[in-house]
């Protein structure tokens, strides 16, 4: 059974802290994604990666960075957390190049920044 896991289900951080959200997939997928999900706004793509050490900005990359040192692991980094980054963060992976390929999502991390 395919699996995408995220390091935490719930996280509470203070303004200004550096925050790491980790995502691991066991499907040998080339592509990995980070989204944030907010009420009324749906899912918005932050960053994606199509290969190890490769990354591309999505729709809302400001305030975030990512790291992909190994194929199975994709990290989202908030360099200095702010309250407007309080959100649900979802990681996903897919096999093929292009948005048409099925994405497999993790359970999400609900981040609260106080």
Partner 1 sequence: LAKTTQPISMDSYEGQEVNITCSHNNIATNDYITWYQQFPSQGPRFIIQGYKTKVTNEVASLFIPADRKSSTLSLPRVSLSDTAVYYCLVGDVVSFQKLVFGTGTRLLVSP
Binding site for partner 1 (CB under 8 A): 4, 31, 33, 35, 40-45, 48, 50, 56, 58-59, 90-92, 96-108
Rg of the chain's alpha carbons, rounded to an integer? 13
The least distance separating partner 1 from the CB of residue 80, rounded to whole angstroms, comes to 27
Q: How far is the CB of 15 from partner 1 (least distance, A)?
A: 26
Q: Which CB atom, from 66 or from 108, has the smaller least distance to partner 1?
A: 108
Q: Exposed e or buried b for every residue in 13-46, given b needs 16+ CB within 10 A?
A: beeeeebebebbbeeebbbbbbbbeeeeeeeebb
């Amino acid at each position: 059974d395919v699996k995408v896991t995220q390091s935490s289900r719930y996280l509470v951080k203070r303004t200004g802290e550096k925050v790491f959200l980790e995502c691991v997939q066991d499907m040998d997928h080339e592509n990995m994604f980070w989204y944030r999900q907010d009420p009324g706004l749906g899912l918005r793509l932050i960053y994606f990666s199509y290969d190890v050490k490769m990354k591309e900005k999505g729709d809302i990359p400001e305030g975030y960075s990512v790291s992909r040192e190994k194929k199975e692991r994709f990290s989202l980094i908030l360099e200095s957390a702010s309250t407007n980054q309080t959100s649900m963060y979802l990681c996903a992976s897919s096999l093929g190049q292009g948005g048409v390929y099925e994405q497999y999502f993790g359970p999400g991390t609900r981040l609260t920044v106080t």
